[in-house]
């Protein structure tokens, strides 16, 4: 059963917080949710070509606060922040604040791993070589388990197929397990290729 559930939602109440934090009355909930989805989709399009980790949105009636995690070395200038604010005003009329943080270790960040696999497949590179490097770098850090699933017309094959790369252990049934999960789609000339990544970083101690 754990394979059918998003590992993040499965453990959200116990050992991690949501990526969107806000409280609102029942009659305004749908408006806040639509606003949230529109802004998040816009930010993902803007940072499509940059190695970006998770994006946390905190808001109330007056302001929206964005906390964006980036790989070390990713440059964000003032002009880019001003253009982001200007475009986000199309979705909301609240005061906007941005804060950018460096990811301490990008080798064990599930979003960064997904970004490099996706980019490698889209640029028609050897995805097996990329995944091999990702696995070796992850296990040099404190990673205990890594699973990568790719499905679609891989390398332009006529038939769709699924390939799974699994190293270490991945206890999906344990609530105390610190499992990171992310999924995405690589767009190629042969069609869409789905990518899923699971990362196991040990257990939480209660």
Domain that holds residue 191: 106-203
Same domain, 12 and 45: yes
Tell which of 69, 102, 135 closes a domain: 102
pLDDT band at 196 (very low <50, low <70, confident <90, very high): very high
Phi-psi region of 73 (alpha: psi -120 to 50; beta: other; left: phi over 0): left
Same domain, 83 and 110: no
Q: E strands, 39-176, where?
A: 52-59, 63-70, 95-102, 145-152, 161-168
Summarised one tens digit per residue, pLDDT across range 109-168 is 899 999 999 998 888 888 888 889 999 999 988 889 999 999 998 888 888 889 999 999
Pairing of strands 191-203, 145-152: antiparallel
Q: Is the pLDDT of residue 16 over 90?
A: no
Tokens describing residue 105:
């270790």
3-state helix, strand, coil in the chain (%, to 5): 35, 35, 30
Residue ranges in 92-206 assigned as alpha helix (H): 110-122, 127-140
* CATH number of the domain encompassing residue 60: 3.30.300.20
Tell which of 45, 75, 102 closes a domain: 102
Q: Is the pLDDT of residue 206 over 60?
A: no
Average pLDDT on 73-88 reads 81
Burial class (CB in 10 A: 0-12, 13-18, 19+), 112: buried
Tell me what pLDDT residue 149 has: 93
Same domain, 65 and 116: no
Average pLDDT on 4-17 reads 74
* CATH number of the domain encompassing residue 125: 3.30.1140.32
Q: In terms of residues, how long is the chain?
A: 206
Same domain, 41 and 98: yes
Asked whether the beta carbons of 22 and 58 are under 8 A apart, the reply is yes
Residue 184: helix, strand or coil by DSSP? strand
Same domain, 13 and 48: yes
Q: If you average pLDDT over every residue of the chain, what do you get?
A: 86
**pLDDT, greater one: 13 or 123:** 123
Tally of domains within the chain:
2
Tell which of 50, 71, 102 closes a domain: 102
């Amino acid at each position: 059963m754990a394979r059918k559930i998003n590992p993040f939602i499965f453990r959200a109440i116990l050992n991690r917080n949501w990526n969107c934090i806000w409280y609102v009355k029942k009659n305004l909930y749908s408006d806040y949710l639509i606003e949230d989805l529109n802004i998040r989709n816009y930010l993902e399009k803007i940072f499509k070509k940059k190695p970006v980790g998770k994006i946390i949105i905190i808001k109330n009636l007056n302001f929206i606060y964005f906390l964006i995690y980036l790989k070390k070395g990713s440059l964000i200038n003032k002009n880019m922040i001003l253009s982001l604010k200007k475009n986000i005003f199309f979705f909301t009329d609240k005061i906007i604040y941005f804060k950018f943080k460096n990811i301490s270790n990008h080798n064990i960040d599930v979003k960064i791993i997904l970004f490099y696999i996706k980019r490698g497949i889209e640029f028609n590179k050897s995805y097996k070589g990329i995944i091999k490097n990702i696995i070796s770098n992850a296990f040099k850090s404190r990673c205990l388990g890594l699973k990568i699933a790719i499905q679609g017309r891989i390398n332009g094959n006529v038939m769709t197929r699924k390939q799974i790369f699994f190293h270490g252990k991945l206890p999906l049934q344990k609530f105390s397990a610190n499992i990171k999960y992310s999924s995405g789609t690589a767009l190629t000339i042969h069609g869409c290729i789905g990518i899923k990544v699971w990362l196991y970083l040990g257990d939480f101690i209660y």
